[in-house]
Amino acid sequence: MNETLSNSELQENRAGKIPVKGQTLEELTRIISELGEKPFRAKQIYNGLYTNRYESWEEFSTIGKDLKDKLKEKFYFSSISVAKHLKSIDGTQKFTFESVPGSGKEFESVWIPSGDGGRKTICISSQVGCTLNCKFCATAKLPYQGNLKAGEIIDQILQVEKIVGDRATNIVFMGMGEPMHNYFNVMRAAELLHDGEALGMGAKRITISTSGVVNGIRRFIENKEPYNLAISLNHPDPNGRKEIMDIEEKFALPELLDAALEYTKVLKRRITFEYVMIPGVNMSGEDAKKLVKIARRLDCKINVIPLNTEFYGWRRPTDQEIDEFLRHLEPAGVPILNRRSPGKDINGACGMLAAKS
C-alpha cells in the first residue's frame, strides 16, 4: 500500500475517536477500565508507545486481536508525518511536519547537536503559526492555524529521534508558537516527556519559552511545573519593547518582571532571559545598562541571540557589535551565553521557522 493511501485512511478513521498518543497513564487506565479491560493493559499501551515506541497497533504483540479491535474503535493511532527534512552543513537538521498529510498545516522541529557532541537539543513547536506578531520573527509572517495536540508535540520528539537515530539530551519549546497559549497540551507533552514510565527526561533538561504571557507564567508558578522557564525579553524598556513585540501592550514589562521575580522566589530556580540582538534597536550602551539593572534584580541568566532574519532593514550584528554589547553587560554579574545560531543555511535557526524555506 502506498504511503499516501495509508495516511488518508488513517485520517478517515479519526472521526469520533481520541488520539492514543498524548494521554496520561491515569487517563488510559480509566478508558481501558471503561472498555471492561484490566488496568495493566493501559500500562502495556503506555509503555508500548513511549518505551518501545511502537508506531501501529500491529506492533503490540502482547495484545490479542479482540482487544486490538476494541482499541481501534476507541482510539486513533496517528503519527505526524515528515513533509520535508533538511540537513545543515553544521549538523543541524530541520523537520517540517504535518499532522494531516496534504493539509498545508505545517510545523517544524529542529535537531541541534552541539559542536562538541555532548549536548543534543530538539527544538519543538507548540502551535501551527503564532498569534503574537513579534516583528523580528519569521513565524509571525505565517497564518495562524491552531494549537498542536499533546500527542503531536510529543511525536515531534519520537519522529526526530527515530530519523536521526539518536536521543536528545535537552528539549526546548522554542519552535513555532507561544507555549503559554497552548498551556494544557504543552504541559501534557512535557509531562509525558518527563515521566519515567514514558520518555523519562529530567525536568531540568526541558525548557519552556514564553514571549511574556504573564497569566501563563503565573499558572506555571502556581502549578509548580518542574521545568525550566525562559522569557524572551528582547528589550529592556517598555517603549522599545512595544516597538518590536505586540505582547508588550497586553502584558507590560514591569508586570512581566514581577512574574519572573516571583518564579525565582517561589520555585527557587534561576530564570533564563532570551535577548535577540538587533543593531540600532536594542544594543545601545543605554539598553545594556537597563538590561544590567533588570538582571541584578533576580536570579537569572541571559542568552543573547544575534538576529537571524533581515526584516525592516534590520541586520545581524557584527562580531564587534556583539562583543561590545556583551562587555556592557558584564556588570550584571550573571551568566551570559552567546547562543550560536546553528542551521542558518536551512532556515532552522531561532526566528527562522516559517515552514516554506
Distance CA(10)–CA(7), nearest Å, equals 5
308 closest CA partner among 270, 338, 287, 278: 278
Residue 211 marked as a ligand binder = no
Three-state secondary structure call for residue 78: coil
The contacts of residue 68 (CB under 8 Å, 6+ apart) are 57, 60
What is the C-alpha separation between 317 and 337, in angstroms, rounded? 16
d(CA 285, CA 292): 10
Convert residues 245-274 into a mask of x (bound to ligand SAH by CB under 6 A) and - (unbound): -----------------------------x
Q: How far apart are CA 20 and CA 151, in angstroms?
A: 8
170 binds ligand SAH (CB under 6 A): no
Mark whether 73 is an active-site residue: no
Considering only residues 50 to 69 of the shown chain, the ones binding ligand SAH according to CB under 6 A are: none
Locate 31 and state its grid cell.
Answer: 478508558
Identify which of residues 31 and 137 has a Cβ nearer to ligand SAH in the complex. 137
In terms of Cβ atoms closer than 10 Å to its own Cβ (0-12, 13-18, 19+), residue 50 is buried
Is 77 one of the binding residues for ligand SAH (CB under 6 A)?
no
Point out which span in 98-106, 204-212, 279-287, 330-338 binds ligand SAH (CB under 6 A).
204-212
CB of 6 to ligand SAH, least distance (A): 33
Asked if residue 178 belongs to a known ligand binding site, the reply is yes
123 known ligand binder? no
Q: Is 9 a catalytic residue?
A: no
Residues 34, 188, 221, 225, Cα dihedral to 10°? 100
Q: Using the rule CB under 6 A, give the single segment among 99-107, 150-158, 209-217, 283-291 that binds ligand SAH.
A: 209-217
Residue 350 lies near ligand SAH (rule: CB under 6 A): yes
Nearer to ligand SAH, 158 or 305 (CB): 305
Q: Which residue is catalytic, options 98, 106, 108, 248?
A: 108
Q: Please identify which residue in 25, 122, 137, 198 interacts with ligand SAH, judged by CB under 6 A.
A: 137
Q: How far apart are CA 323 and CA 315, in angstroms?
A: 16
Residue 152 is assigned to a ligand binding site: no
Residue 300 is assigned to a ligand binding site: no
CA atoms within 13 A on the CB side of 109: 29
Assess contact for 146 and 105: CB atoms under 8 A: yes
CA atoms 29, 30, 33, 37: torsion sign = negative
Strand pairing category for 93-98 and 106-113: antiparallel
Among 81, 210, 272, 347, binds ligand SAH (CB under 6 A): 210
**Residues contacting 280, CB < 8 A, separation 6+:** 314
Give the one residue of 45, 142, 174, 244 binding ligand SAH; rule: CB under 6 A.
Answer: 174
Residue 309 to residues 21, 27, 125, 234, 278: CA-CA distances in angstroms?
Answer: 35, 43, 19, 15, 10
**Which of 78, 228, 308, 347 lies at the binding interface for ligand SAH (CB under 6 A)?**
308
Q: How many residues bind ligand SAH (CB under 6 A)?
A: 17
Does 309 bind ligand SAH (CB under 6 A)? Our answer is yes
Count other Cβ atoms within 10 Å, centred on residue 201: 21
Residue number of the CB closest to ligand SAH reads: 351
CB of 149: closest distance to ligand SAH in angstroms?
Answer: 18
Instruction: Select the residue interacting with ligand SAH from 95, 136, 220, 263 (CB under 6 A).
Output: 136
Active site positions, annotated? 108, 350
Which residues are known binding-site members for S-adenosyl-L-methionine?
177-178, 209, 232-234, 308
**Interacting residues with ligand SAH (CB under 6 A):** 136-137, 174, 178, 209-211, 232, 234, 274, 276, 305, 307-309, 350-351
